Amino acid sequence: MGYALLDLTTDPPQLLDHGLVATPRFGSAAEKLVAIADAIDGLIATHSPAYLALERLYFNKNVKTAMAVAEARGVALVCGARAGLVIAEYTPQEVKQSVTGSGGADKRAVQRMIVHLLELAEPITQDNVADAIAIALTHAQRVKFADAVASAK
Amino acid sequence: MGYALLDLTTDPPQLLDHGLVATPRFGSAAEKLVAIADAIDGLIATHSPAYLALERLYFNKNVKTAMAVAEARGVALVCGARAGLVIAEYTPQEVKQSVTGSGGADKRAVQRMIVHLLELAEPITQDNVADAIAIALTHAQRVKFADAVASAK
């Protein structure tokens, strides 16, 4: 599971942390999920974020993968909600639209735009990490827009 | 989500507790999952069980339902694993086979056998609760068999 933490008080947002949660390769489903829960709890304790943005899950051709992802999603939702975070969910299409301007953009286009928009010194090459950054950035853009609307009232 | 707690030190096992976890009807997915996590944590704290038996999830025609069930399963697995419970999973067919002797038994047959095997004073009419009792009973029968094998060594 990829993760990314953005500081929204700067412009552009600053990428505070990002990576992949390590899960025990030969562990049971429960052991892997506990590793994910521990990692998310640790990131929340370290960074005290206000929001948790997740990918909204749709049908996946690989049912077994979809189930495992849904299990991890449930764990992440409980970690976030118990810590009082505001939770947001975006479809892959919403994320692509928000980051690149096109809902049909491919992974490479998303990865290029992340580097551009966040002014990163290095490219993000791991798909799950790039996805996590793109989801966080999508939420950052929504929050910024909501603030702009609020201040224009 | 239905739940059931069995005391395996008696013969037949004693049904200590059973019911449905109440979730906020108009709550978000995260709020419902937190209610489930809190309920499971509470049941574990009250009864200190040694095992957690869950239904193994397979493909469901209703993808949205399957995803919600998988999210709740992920939460239950983390609650159980963090509390140090031994986790077991059974397919619906294994449960029917174990409780009724036939993997193709219908819900009514399972419900009748639960009442018979556990010598319950009243029938269990809620499907999710009956399923939870049947899953716990399946695990009780496996544990009993494993003990019998061990003592026959």
Q: Report yes or no: B88 at the A interface, CB cutoff 8 Å.
A: no
CB-based contact A71 B74, cutoff 8 Å:
yes
Q: Report yes or no: B54 at the A interface, CB cutoff 8 Å.
A: no
- pLDDT of amino acid A62: 76
Mean pLDDT value across residues A126-152:
91
Question: In a 3-state reduction of DSSP, which class is residue B115?
Answer: helix
- pLDDT of amino acid A9: 93
pLDDT band (50, 70, 90) for residue B5: very high
Q: How far does B66 lie from chain A, in Å, by closest CA?
A: 8
pLDDT band (50, 70, 90) for residue B113: very high
Q: How far does A81 lie from chain B, in Å, by closest CA?
A: 6
- pLDDT of amino acid A60: 65
Closest partner residue to B30 (CB to CB) among A67, A71, A77 is: A77
Question: Residue B21 in contact with residue B30, Cβ under 8 Å?
Answer: no
Chain A residue closest in CA terms to B85: A30
pLDDT band (50, 70, 90) for residue B60: low
Residues in B closer than 8 angstroms to A80, CB to CB, are 30
- pLDDT of amino acid B7: 96
- pLDDT of amino acid B150: 81
Q: Which two tokens stand for residue A81?
A: 């909600």
The domains located in chain A, with CATH, are 2-151 (3.30.420.10)
Q: How far does B96 lie from chain A, in Å, by closest CA?
A: 23
For residue A153, pLDDT over 90 is answered with no
Residues in B closer than 8 angstroms to A63, CB to CB, are 58-59
Instruction: Estimate the share of chain B in helix, then strand, then coil, as percent rounded to the nearest 5.
Output: 55, 15, 30
Q: How far does B77 lie from chain A, in Å, by closest CA?
A: 5
Strand partners, B17: B5
Closest partner residue to A81 (CB to CB) among B30, B73, B78 is: B30
Question: Residue B144 in contact with residue B37, Cβ under 8 Å?
Answer: no
CB-based contact A82 B34, cutoff 8 Å:
yes
The region of weakest confidence among A145-149, B108-112, B119-123 is A145-149
Whole-prediction pTM: 0.90
The amino acid occupying position A55 is E
Q: Which two tokens stand for residue B30?
A: 């995260």
Chain A to chain B Cβ contacts (< 8 Å):
76
Element (H, E) at B52: strand B51-55
A11-37, pLDDT tens digit by residue? 999 999 999 999 999 999 999 999 999
For residue B93, pLDDT over 80 is answered with yes
Give CA B153 to chain center in angstroms: 30
Closest partner residue to A75 (CB to CB) among B29, B78, B80 is: B78
